[in-house]
Amino acid sequence: MKKNVYSYSSCILETLPLRVQQSSFSSTFPGKRLGQAAWSSEGFGSHWVRSVSVDLNNDASLVIDIPDALCERDKVKFTVHTKTTLSSFQKPEFSVPRQHEEFIWLHDTIVETEEYAGLIIPPAPPKPDFEGPREKMHKLGEGESSMTKEEYAKMKQELEAEYLAVFKKTVQVHEVFLQRLSSHPIFRKDRNFQIFLEYDQDLSVRRKNAKEMFGGFFKNMVKSADEVLISGVKEVDEFFEQEKTFLLDYSSKIKDASAKAEKMTRSHKNVADDYNHISGALNSTAADNNTAFKKHLEKYAEVFEKLRKLEDRVASDQELKLTELLRYYTRDIQAAKDLLYRRARALADNENSNKALDKARLKGKDIAQAEENQKQCLQKFDKLSESGKKELTSFKARRVVAFRKNLIEMTELEIKHAKVRRLKCCVYHYMFTRQCSGSHGKPGNMREF
């Protein structure tokens, strides 16, 4: 029997309590724990993670998760928790606080490590983006005086939900990044990774100074030149030729799909918000009314409130299973492309070294050096090609499995939501039509279900 994803068992929640510090908000949110009721139906953390990339955290010798996170003045502090049986670590279990910049530092150092050139480097987690909730909070503050109590409460509710959603997402993507590293036979042994996990002081990751930022920009420019390079370079290997064609096309398509999915999810949320406002407006109207209409209005408000909740769930689940999946793999495809770039560069270097060797032989000068250079280039290229092939093959397998899992889960959730919505609408329908015939004293027009 498939795990009932609908019941958020409290044990999952307990591994993931999110504390929100009040300093990032005005007195609107006195330092309370954002209610778990605001969460979507989906159990969190490890469950999502495993659906995005199934081969993670399976090895008990190194298990990493982010059980806790704190939001302070828009800076998020993640608690990185490690459990390990490996002797290279000092303790079997420990936790350290880390900020986003430190994750980026780790990613960059791995990217810059020559040894890993033949591997797909797990994409860096995107920066936590609280722009949406921040804007909403601003609007809430501004409009406070002109809103009724109900409207204010509703907007606050929306704001909390959105904030929580952003928060959850950012925890997940940071967690997945670490788990990709820990699950990989080579990355898990990386020295910097170990430091990241273990070192209980601040890593003092300097803000990138101007030169480094410029350097980064330059690197990106080189990358786009690389794109020309890999399309230009003559490919002898059938496998890589296919991969190149595939990845170049697929990356633009998946980026587009991810953007469109995001818009679609956003629209769902807007509809949910509208239901929220309608419910509030119905309640306000009911409050002022003291005729028979009042009870009806209150019931209708209830209907719309239920519709809102359901629409919210549909939106969240769609976001998780579809939008986040697409976003994640957009980044991963990019990482795969980076591997191709590196290999293409190595191939170019290899060809250049061949040419240099020929020239040296012709001139009769520096032959040994040229030979050595050529040998090294060839070695590097071969190593890259070999590990690259392995990586790309397992990447494809991983991707297919993840898509399958997520599409199945998304579909099952959609069906479930639709059934619940149908049921609830039927219940209300039954109730209202019965009232209709009830007040006229005969069962008359009763529709048979």
Partner 1 sequence: MESPEAARLSAEDISPSSNGPKAEPMLLDDDPDDLFAEATEEVSLDSPERQPILSDGPSPVITPVTPVMISSRADVFDRSPDQDEDEEENRDTFDIQISVSDPEKVGKDVCDSLSLCLQTSLSIFSRDEVCVKRRFSDFLGLHSKLASKYMHMGYIVPPAPEKSIVGMTKVKVGKEDLSSVEFVEKRRSALERYLLRTVKHPALLKDPDVLQFLESSELPRAVSTQALSGAGILRMVNKAADAVNKMTIKMNESDAWFEEKQQQFENLDVQLRKLHASVESLVCHRKELSVNTASFAKSAAMLGNSEDHTALSRALSQLAEVEEKIDQLHQDQACADFYLISELLGDYVRLITAVKGVFDQRMKTWAKCQDAQVMLQRKREAEAKLQHANKPDKLQQAKDEIREWEGKVQQGERDFEQISKNIRREVGRFEKDRVKDFRVVIIKYLESLVHTQQQMIKYWEAFLPEAKAIA
- Least distance from C-beta 297 to partner 1, angstroms? 8
Q: Which of residues 256-275 bind partner 1 (CB under 8 A)?
A: 256-257, 259-261, 263-264, 266-268, 270-271, 273-275
Helix-then-strand count for the chain, H and E = 11, 4
- 153 lines the binding site for partner 1 (CB under 8 A): no
Residues between 51 and 70 that touch partner 1 (CB under 8 A): none
* Site for partner 1, residues 314 to 373, rule: CB under 8 A: none
The strand pairing partners of 82, in sequence order, are 64, 94
Smallest separation (angstroms) from partner 1 to the CB of 240: 14
Q: Could you tell me the smallest distance in angstroms from the CB atom of residue 68 to partner 1?
A: 24
Q: Distances from the Cα of 282 to the Cαs of 82, 276, 278, 299, in angstroms?
A: 50, 10, 6, 9
Give residues 407-426 in contact with partner 1 (rule: CB under 8 A). 407-408, 411-412, 414-416, 418-426
Query: How many residues line the site for partner 1 (CB under 8 A)?
Result: 89
Long-range CB pairs of 83-89 (<8 Å, 24+ gap) are 85/60, 85/61, 86/61, 86/62, 88/189, 88/194, 89/194, 89/197, 89/198
Residue 443 found at the interface with partner 1 (CB under 8 A): yes
Nearest residue (CB) to partner 1, 115 versus 256: 256
**Nearest approach, Cβ of residue 323 and partner 1 (Å):** 10
**Which of 6, 29, 89, 94 is the binder for partner 1 (CB under 8 A)?**
6
CA distance 184 to 124: 15
Closest CA to 388 of 241, 253, 252: 241
Spatial neighbors of 141 by CB under 8 A, at least 6 apart, are: 26, 28
44 touches partner 1 (CB under 8 A): no
Is 136 a binder of partner 1 (CB under 8 A)? no
d(CA 201, CA 290): 64
Interface with partner 1, residue 378, by CB under 8 A: no
Which of residues 87, 145, 204, 439 is near partner 1 by CB under 8 A?
Answer: 439
Rule CB under 8 A: which of 274-313 touch partner 1?
A: 274-275, 277-278, 281-282, 284-285, 288-297, 300, 303, 307, 309
- The answer to whether 109 contacts partner 1 (rule: CB under 8 A) is no
Which residues are bridge partners to 83 per DSSP? 63, 93
Binding mask 235-254 for partner 1 (x = CB under 8 A): -------x---x--xx--xx
Nearer to partner 1, 226 or 243 (CB): 243
Range in contact with partner 1 (rule: CB under 8 A) among 67-75, 87-95, 108-116, 393-401: 393-401
DSSP per-residue letters across 189-203: G-HHHHHHHH--S--
Among 225, 240, 257, 213, which Cα is nearest to 339's? 240
Examine residue 431 and tell whether it contacts partner 1 (CB under 8 A): yes
Answer left, alpha or beta for residue 376, where phi above 0 means left and psi between -120 and 50 means alpha. alpha
Instruction: Compute how many other C-beta atoms are within 10 angstroms of the C-beta atom of residue 184.
Output: 21
404 forms part of the interface with partner 1 (CB under 8 A): yes
Cα–Cα distance between 143 and 137 in angstroms, integer? Answer: 10
Q: Are 258 and 327 in contact (CB under 8 A)?
A: yes
436 lies in the binding site for partner 1 (CB under 8 A): yes
* Closest approach of partner 1 to the CB of residue 414, in Å: 5
355-364, Cβ contacts within 8 angstroms, sequence gap of 24 or more: none
Based on CB atoms, which residue is closest to partner 1, 114 or 448?
448
